[in-house]
Amino acid sequence: DTANGDARSLLNALELAVETTPEKWEPDNTNPIPAWGSKIYISKEAAEESIQKKVVLYDRDGDYHYDIISAFIKSLRGRDPDAAMYWLARMVRAGEDPHFIFRRMLISACEDTGLADPYAIAVVTSCADAFDRVGLPEGRYHLAHAALYLATAPKSNSSMAFFDALSSVEKEDAEVPNHLKDSSRDAEGFGHGDGYLYPHAYRDHWVAQQYLPTELVGRVFYTPTDQGYEAKIKDEVLSRREMQISAILEDIQPEKPDTGASCGMHPLPHFASDFNNPIGEWWINKNFNTNTTVKKEQLTFTPKDDRKESALNKADRSWRGRLDSNRAQVLTSIRDAMIQLAQLSRHTRSLIWNADDGLLLWDVSRKTPEGVTAGVCSGERGMQILEQYGRTLDDLDRPVLTLRPPSKENYLTSDEFNSVLANYADKGILFDRLFFRDPFNCQDSADVLAYSLEQLPKAIVPDGFTVVISQRIPGKGQRIGELVQNQILNESTREVFDTILKKMALAENEFFTNQDNPLFAWDEKSIAKTFSDKGFEVKSASRIITEKRRITEQEINRWFDTENSSYGSALAVQVGNDDLLKIKNLLLSAANNTLFDWNTTIEFMTVSVVR
């Protein structure tokens, strides 16, 4: 144990002890001293000195032992290579077990260096392995090498995230989301695994979806530092996390106030009950509270007569999963365009309206570290998730969140809107930028916002005050006729349907430009005119956003329902029921195997105060 497995060290220590114990050591004299056959008694002190081990001063079971190793580890943590070498030398000189030192360095490599240098654990492990091959005294090189690497490496204790997660697990045992459950068991009966998106099928091998239990959405355990390797991955980790939260929150059903108020700053139009037309589910979901969030587990089911859950079906589902949504990229492009238009500076003060999905909140906050970022949330659930995520930030970096005030009307009035900004002004916050995503669903809603901005007291509107808006234009949504012509038919089949598609194009154009329908009786030009007439400076630009999406059989049936869908009935008048059925059947046959490019026109607009 003393020689740590090194026979040379043991023999050297024994030789030194023998030679230094007698008063004289002259073995080569004619009369050797001490005489041949003499017994040499080696004292404890001589033994300690010869083996370079101070038993009294370095008792492995005493405080001194733990104090030295504590000083060593703290020197590594504090990135002081000189102190680390000194305390390491003290331990080696005192005969500390090198394996104990290596064990502590292996712990430090993950606890203190962590992902700031993910190679640290490999370096220490390699040095420990080399020491086992070499032993002492040369093995001291490997001790020093490992210690110097740790003492000079960047530091991060982000692995403590595990213990935060462990604490959360001990407090609650949350249910596994249904789409994350094992699809090889009970998939047919309970829908286990249904809705899971296979990340390797997407660009960059990543797709935004929920992985935490629903109760913990927005909870953050791991926060990358700005040290070493973590500094390189930090922005990507935060961006993906925020896009994931945005995608989840966008699907959470808005909380509808008891008064019947909508969640946008606009009245609910009288035609809200008729949305069986292909302007996109977003319009229904965003404004009229018909969407749902994570798929629920099916608690009952009726067995199929002919079971088809075979390997082929599973392979088909897997393949289709490899093709789906580019939703995260769509959201990112909208966010980036709005932030670019805002021309933010480090001290800009920004208010994000309906901030529940968090899409703009975090990126705006990062880009304005010396300013203020605030968000008005339309529902408690979204606000709770954002606050939970915000707790990972310093107090000064944390966005200021508030709930949208309740309204007695079915929309937010001008006075209620102005009261929100006045409340912030009372706290000393005057905003330079105000962000809106899809605030309008009819011309009246644009009129309400323009009037509200006009009525803002000048005292709470600083110079350079600008409203940044992204707005999807329903009248310029995807035309189904174009989709059929360009994405289903080919050169050999287009001629057969040419006459039908021409009639359909005319019918769709007439339907989507119908000025008697409030849903389509407005566009980016009418919005711009509304603000210009109030004295604001308006700049705008259109962009076509292409989303990868599937079309379900249920959607197709709703669209082409000539009795219950205004879209279907309008097409039937122009195209005829028989020809319309042909188009419907084309869509139905292609829907299962086609990932469509669904085009949406988004207007990006800035509305600025002119002094």
Looking up residue 58, the CATH number of its domain turns out to be: 1.20.272.10
Q: For position 309, what pLDDT does the model report?
A: 37
Does residue 495 belong to any structural domain of this protein?
A: no
Reply yes or no on whether the pLDDT at 516 is more than 80.
yes
- The first and second tokens of residue 279, run together, are 């302007």
Find the range with the poorest average confidence among 118-122, 127-131, 265-269, 395-399.
265-269
Question: How high is the mean pLDDT of the chain?
Answer: 78
Q: Say which residue, 500 or 322, is predicted with more confidence.
A: 500
Contact of 535 with 454, CB cutoff 8 Å: yes
229 within domain boundaries: yes
Q: In this structure, is the dihedral angle defined by the CA atoms of residues 215, 218, 223 and 229, taken in order, positive or negative?
A: positive
pLDDT score, position 260: 35
Q: What is the pLDDT of residue 344?
A: 93
Give the single-character DSSP code of 204. Answer: G
Instruction: Determine if the peptide bond prior to 34 is cis (ω within 30°).
Output: yes
- What is the residue type of 335? R
Same domain, residue pair 147 and 32: yes
Q: Residue 369 has what pLDDT? A: 86
Q: Are residues 121 and 74 in the same domain?
A: yes
Residue 118: domain span? 7-158
Instruction: Indicate whether 123 belongs to any domain.
Output: yes
% residues pLDDT > 70 (the chain) = 75
The whole-angstrom separation of Cα 489 and Cα 196 is 30
Q: What is the pLDDT at residue 272?
A: 32
112 plus 20 within the same structural domain: yes
148 with 172, same domain: the answer is no
Lowest mean pLDDT among 26-35, 52-61, 152-161, 287-296: 287-296
Residue recorded with tokens 């408690």: 380
Residue 166 sits in the same domain as residue 306: yes
Lowest mean pLDDT across 84-98, 185-199, 503-517, 542-556: 185-199
In this prediction, residue 240 carries a pLDDT of 73
* Host H or E run for residue 229: helix 228-251
Task: Answer whether residue 601 is part of any domain.
Answer: no
**Is residue 325 within 8 Å of residue 197, measured between CB atoms?**
yes
Q: Which pLDDT score, from 0 to 100, does residue 267 have?
A: 38
Residue 470 lies in a domain: no
Shared-domain flag, residues 13 and 131: yes
64 pLDDT tier (thresholds 50, 70, 90): low
Q: Are residues 34 and 54 in the same domain?
A: yes
The pLDDT confidence band at residue 413, using thresholds 50, 70 and 90, is confident
- Distance (Å, rounded) from C-alpha 104 to C-alpha 150? 11
Residues near 311 by beta carbon (within 8 Å), at least 6 away in sequence: none
Taking residues 378-401, what's their average pLDDT?
A: 79
Residue 566 · residue 277 · CB < 8 Å: yes
Shared-domain flag, residues 166 and 48: no
The pLDDT value recorded for residue 325 is 54
**Pair 146, 218 in one domain:** no
Give the closest residue to 378 by CA, choosing from 287, 454, 450. Answer: 287
Average pLDDT over residues 155-169: 79
Global pTM reads 0.60
Q: 63-72, 101-110, 201-210, 305-314: which has the highest mean pLDDT?
A: 101-110
pLDDT tens string 164-197: 777 777 677 777 777 777 766 654 544 456 667 7
Alpha helices by DSSP H, 480-565 = 480-487, 491-512, 524-533, 553-559
Order of strands, edge to edge, in the sheet holding 433-437? 400-403, 372-377, 349-353, 433-437, 466-472, 596-608, 537-549
User: Does residue 205 come out as left (phi exceeding 0), alpha (psi in the -120 to 50 range) or beta?
Assistant: left
Q: Which residue has the higher pLDDT, 299 or 79?
A: 79
Number of folded domains that form the chain: 2
Residue indicated by tokens 């010869």: 50
Q: Which amino acid is at 570?
A: A
Tokens 């699907």, residue located: 251
Residues 100 and 229 in one domain: no
CA angle 463, 467, 472 (to 5 degrees): 165
Tracing tokens 């024994």 back to the chain, one arrives at 14
Is residue 106 located within the same domain as residue 227?
no
User: Quick check: 258 pLDDT over 50?
Assistant: no
188 shares its domain with 247: yes
Q: How confident is the model at residue 519 (pLDDT cuts 50, 70, 90)?
A: confident
- At what angle are helices 566-575 and 491-512 packed, to 10 degrees? 120
Q: From CA 426, how far away is CA 459, in angstroms rounded?
A: 11
Least confident residue range of 100-114, 260-274, 495-509: 260-274
Question: Domain boundary residue among 268, 303, 321?
Answer: 321
Q: Measure the CA–CA gap between 77 and 113, rounded to whole angstroms.
A: 8
pLDDT of residue 465: 94
Cα 240 vs. chain centroid, distance in angstroms?
A: 3
Q: Bigger pLDDT: 4 or 355?
A: 355
pLDDT confidence of 436, banded at 50, 70, 90?
very high
pLDDT for residue 252 = 52
Q: Cis peptide leading into 137, omega within 30 of 0?
A: yes
Final residue before a domain boundary, out of 138, 158, 178: 158
Q: Parallel, antiparallel, or unpaired: how do β-strands 433-437 and 372-377 relate?
A: unpaired
The backbone torsions φ and ψ at residue 33, rounded to the nearest 5 degrees and listed phi first, read -120, 125
| pLDDT value, residue 33 | 82
Provide mean pLDDT across the span 231-241.
Answer: 75
